């Protein structure tokens, strides 16, 4: 009986292990739904071009890919990338069907000098889940091709393989030009500054390395939707236009704008044997191959002679406005009762730096309660200049009855076309204030100074009972006496403690500079968020760029003229900031500049990504320094 039950027991155990292993491998397979890895050579030669690939693989179709973030390839020159390719394969072996799909994101790079290149991990979101690669290390050594070529040159000269001539870009193929609408102007006069890129090659990437500080100018950037245009034998692309206004007289200089450009250039391959060219590659020898070449370019330096504004004929109301303007005013009522509101509206319109126009001075009577003017503007900025209008609303409340006169309101400006000052002024306003509600005012019977205190002479009858106290209660040595007696000492002690804390805080120059830098960066980011919601791409990227560069300049005391990617990298390393934070910050700078000057523009999604990235890297560095 036992012998008959043994086979059943063995069969049950076998079935149990088969089910267990099946569930185990199914679980492993479910876990390994996607793989994300980096592939790169372990050793390369100086100047050798090679590929760094980030490969996403799966046993099924790959889902939606998003938020790919490559590491910062410090020490490598990027020729182009990332380029994306896809592949899939299906095989059936012994009736078992296997499917493999992959997506490859490739960078073509080269190393300019010897050493060890280390770069961190890349990340990507696949079907809502984030995957990361491991870091990688590449050893760069001297090339031994010259030594090998020296020993083989005599034997291989007759049938030498194709020798590829390196592609280059001449100044005629790529030229960045800065031009201005005028070389001589008055202080505050409007000048149009244009940066145009002339090229005979296919542009793939643009990035600003150093922007002119614009010292001595106030500038306003113009929103552009420029497209490449035919220019002679090549193309031209307007990169940026801005209105600049010189702030003082003398010779002012606009320093060159420095950029990095990656372009596609045709290079030719030649061999000493013309027949070998044809039989090895019958088409490549005629048409050549495309190669991506990086070139640093800079614009020309522009000098502008700025003339001072003349002193002759300058009116007393002149406040530095230069251009051509109109001036209008209106009053909503000239007869009203005391304690009613009166509004005077002044509108200044025309052509010039409207953003610098301030509210004109209005002399109101002493009996008028005056509020700060409300400012509204309707300003348009284009290559034709800054135009529009600015409106100021003065709200006042007369307090006493009487007749009043508001003197004429004056506004003056300098017209550079006529070379003279022009002053506008309104008529005087005659205001009649009638008697208002007697509960709140008394009739004006004396001078204005007497009327001001007339409302205080008669108090209304009190309808509520005041707090009563015993007649014989003494104040001396009472609880209130001791409270009032000790209060000055308490306040003095509190004042000294607060003063000491403020002195310590103000003495911390580094901390004060850090707080101001972060405050200015948050201000720029708030403006950028506003422009992002309005889909104002150019203004958005200007504010993001100012937030990043300005944060570095103020926090680490780097002059604006010395700001560059290399200086930023060295400064952050000197502050012992982690390499991860440095790479993230530099990548945010590069992404911002690329999105701003990319010929194809940017989407609302990419603007949101740039905004989130800038906010994160600034916050991370501030948090790291405060630890």
Residue 369, pLDDT > 80, answer yes
Say how far apart CA 236 and CA 257 lie, in whole Å: 17
Say how far apart CA 268 and CA 285 lie, in whole Å: 7
Q: What is the DSSP string of 525-560?
A: HHHHHHHHHTT-HHHHHHHHHHHHHHHHHHHTT--G
Interval 14-30 mean pLDDT? 51
**Number of C-beta neighbours around residue 565 at 10 A:** 15
The answer to whether the beta carbons of residues 43 and 143 sit under 8 Å apart is no
Residue 54, pLDDT > 80, answer yes
Residue 603 confidence class, pLDDT cut points 50, 70, 90: low
Residue 541, pLDDT > 70, answer yes
Q: Which pLDDT belongs to residue 180?
A: 93
| Apex 385 CA angle, 379 and 388, nearest 5 | 25
Does residue 330 or residue 99 have the better pLDDT? 330
Judged on CB neighbours under 10 Å (0-12, 13-18, 19+), 597 is buried
Tokens for 142?
Answer: 């001297």
Residue 611 confidence class, pLDDT cut points 50, 70, 90: confident
The answer to whether the beta carbons of residues 334 and 434 sit under 8 Å apart is no
**Number of C-beta neighbours around residue 60 at 10 A:** 11
Does residue 348 or residue 438 have the better pLDDT? 348
Task: For 377, list phi and psi in degrees, rounded to 5.
Answer: -135, 150
Q: Which pLDDT belongs to residue 93?
A: 56
Residue 201, pLDDT > 70, answer yes
The alpha carbon of residue 347 and the mean position of all alpha carbons in its chain are separated, in whole angstroms, by 33
Residue 99, by phi and psi: left (phi above 0), alpha (psi -120 to 50) or beta? beta
Of 292, 303, 295, which is closest to residue 176 (Cα–Cα)?
Answer: 295
The answer to whether the beta carbons of residues 162 and 280 sit under 8 Å apart is yes
Say how far apart CA 240 and CA 177 lie, in whole Å: 11
Q: Which pLDDT belongs to residue 89?
A: 60
Q: Which pLDDT belongs to residue 145?
A: 47
Say how far apart CA 285 and CA 290 lie, in whole Å: 12
Q: Which pLDDT belongs to residue 321?
A: 94
Does residue 118 or residue 466 have the better pLDDT? 118
Range of 14-28, 446-460, 477-491, 600-614 with top mean pLDDT: 477-491
Interval 400-408 mean pLDDT? 93
Q: Which pLDDT belongs to residue 13?
A: 61
Hey, CA dihedral for 558, 559, 565, 567, is it positive or negative? negative
pLDDT digits (tens, 9 = 90+) for 249-297: 999 998 888 888 888 776 655 444 554 444 444 444 444 556 778 888 8
Residue 26, pLDDT > 80, answer no
Of 75, 136, 80, which is closest to residue 108 (Cα–Cα)?
Answer: 80
Q: Within 255-362, where are the H helices? A: 274-280, 284-287
pLDDT digits (tens, 9 = 90+) for 498-528: 888 887 766 665 566 666 777 888 888 888 8
Range of 2-6, 92-96, 543-547, 552-556 with top mean pLDDT: 543-547
All domains in the chain, ordered by first residue:
52-141 (no CATH), 174-306 (2.60.40), 316-434 (2.60.40.740), 509-626 (1.20.120)
Tokens for 330?
Answer: 């209106």
Say how far apart CA 598 and CA 164 lie, in whole Å: 30
Tokens for 198?
Answer: 């002339």
Residue 358 per-residue DSSP state: -
Residue 161, pLDDT > 60, answer no
Share the mean pLDDT of the chain.
77
pLDDT > 90: percent of the chain: 25
SS3 67: strand
Q: Which are the contacts of 617, defined by CB distance < 8 A and separation ≥ 6?
A: 548, 581, 584, 585, 588
Interval 134-160 mean pLDDT? 60
Residue 168 confidence class, pLDDT cut points 50, 70, 90: confident
pLDDT digits (tens, 9 = 90+) for 227-247: 656 555 578 888 888 999 999
Residue 7, pLDDT > 70, answer no
- SS3 assignment for 90-155: EEEECCEEEEEEEEEEEEEEECCCCEEEEECCCEEEECCEEEECCCEEEEEECCCHHHHHHHHHHH
3-state percent helix, strand, coil for the chain, nearest multiple of 5: 30, 40, 30
Interval 394-413 mean pLDDT? 93
Say how far apart CA 477 and CA 494 lie, in whole Å: 25
Q: Which pLDDT belongs to residue 371?
A: 92
Terminal Cα-to-Cα distance of the chain (whole angstroms): 77
Residue 419 confidence class, pLDDT cut points 50, 70, 90: very high
Task: Reply yes or no: is the peptide bond before residue 82 cis, omega within 30 of 0.
Answer: yes
Query: Would you say how long the chain is, in residues?
Result: 627
pLDDT > 70: percent of the chain: 71
The answer to whether the beta carbons of residues 347 and 377 sit under 8 Å apart is no
Say how far apart CA 241 and CA 218 lie, in whole Å: 14
């Amino acid at each position: 009986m036992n012998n008959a039950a043994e086979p059943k027991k063995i069969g049950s155990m076998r079935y149990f292990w088969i089910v267990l292993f099946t569930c185990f491998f199914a679980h492993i397979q479910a876990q390994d739904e996607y793989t994300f890895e980096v592939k790169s050579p372990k050793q390369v030669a100086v100047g050798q071009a090679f590929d760094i690939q980030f490969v996403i693989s799966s046993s099924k179709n790959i889902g939606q890919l998003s938020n790919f973030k490559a590491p910062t390839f410090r020490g490598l020159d990027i020729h182009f990338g990332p380029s994306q390719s896809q592949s899939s394969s299906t095989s059936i072996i012994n009736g078992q069907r296997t499917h493999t799909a992959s997506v490859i994101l490739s960078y073509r790079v080269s190393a300019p000098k010897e050493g060890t290149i280390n770069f961190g991990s890349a990340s990507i979101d696949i079907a809502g889940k984030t995957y990361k690669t491991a870091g990688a290390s590449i050893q760069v050594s001297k090339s031994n091709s010259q030594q090998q070529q020296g020993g083989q040159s005599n034997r291989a000269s007759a049938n030498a393989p194709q020798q590829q001539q390196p592609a280059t870009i001449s100044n005629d193929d790529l030229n960045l030009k800065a031009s201005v609408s005028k070389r001589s102007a008055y202080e505050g006069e409007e000048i149009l500054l244009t940066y145009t890129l002339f090229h005979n090659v296919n542009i793939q990437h643009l990035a600003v390395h150093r922007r002119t500080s614009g010292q001595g100018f106030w500038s306003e950037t113009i929103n552009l939707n420029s497209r490449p245009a035919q220019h002679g034998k090549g193309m031209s692309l307007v990169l940026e236009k801005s209105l600049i206004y010189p702030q003082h007289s003398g010779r002012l200089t606009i320093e060159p704008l420095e950029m990095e450009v990656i372009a596609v250039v045709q290079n030719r391959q030649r061999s000493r044997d013309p027949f070998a060219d044809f039989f090895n590659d019958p088409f490549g020898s005629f048409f050549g191959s495309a190669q991506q070449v990086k070139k640093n370019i800079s614009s020309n330096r522009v000098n502008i002679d700025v003339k001072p504004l003349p002193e002759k004929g300058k009116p007393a109301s002149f406040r530095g406005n230069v251009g051509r303007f109109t001036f209008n005013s209106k009053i909503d009522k000239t007869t009203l009762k005391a304690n009613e509101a009166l509004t005077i509206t002044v509108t200044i319109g025309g052509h010039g730096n409207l953003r610098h126009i301030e509210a004109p001075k209005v002399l109101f009577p002493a009996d008028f309660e005056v509020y700060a003017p409300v400012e509204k503007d309707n300003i348009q900025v284009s290559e034709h200049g800054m135009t529009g209008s600015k409106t100021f609303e003065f709200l006042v409340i007369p307090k006493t009855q009487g007749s009043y006169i508001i003197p004429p309101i004056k506004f003056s400006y300098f017209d550079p076309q006529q070379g003279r000052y022009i002053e506008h002024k309104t008529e005087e306003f005659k205001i009649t204030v009638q008697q208002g509600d007697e509960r709140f005012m008394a009739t004006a019977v004396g001078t204005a100074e007497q009327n001001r205190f007339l409302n205080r002479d008669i108090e209304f009858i009190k309808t509520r009972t005041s707090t009563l106290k015993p007649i014989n209660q003494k104040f001396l040595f009472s609880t209130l006496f001791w409270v009032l007696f000790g209060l000055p000492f308490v306040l003095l002690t509190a004042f000294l403690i607060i003063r000491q804390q403020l002195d310590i805080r103000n003495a911390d120059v580094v901390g004060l500079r850090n707080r101001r830098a972060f405050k200015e960066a948050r201000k720029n980011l708030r403006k950028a968020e506003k422009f992002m919601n309005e889909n104002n791409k150019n203004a958005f990227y200007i504010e993001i760029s100012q937030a990043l560069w300005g944060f570095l300049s103020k926090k680490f005391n780097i002059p604006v003229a010395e700001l560059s990617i290399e200086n930023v990298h060295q400064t952050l390393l000197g502050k012992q900031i982690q390499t991860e934070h440095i790479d993230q910050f530099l990548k945010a700078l590069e992404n911002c500049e690329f999105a701003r000057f990319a010929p194809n523009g940017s989407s609302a999604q990419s603007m949101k990504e740039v905004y989130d990235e800038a906010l994160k890297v600034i916050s991370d560095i501030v948090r790291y320094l405060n630890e």
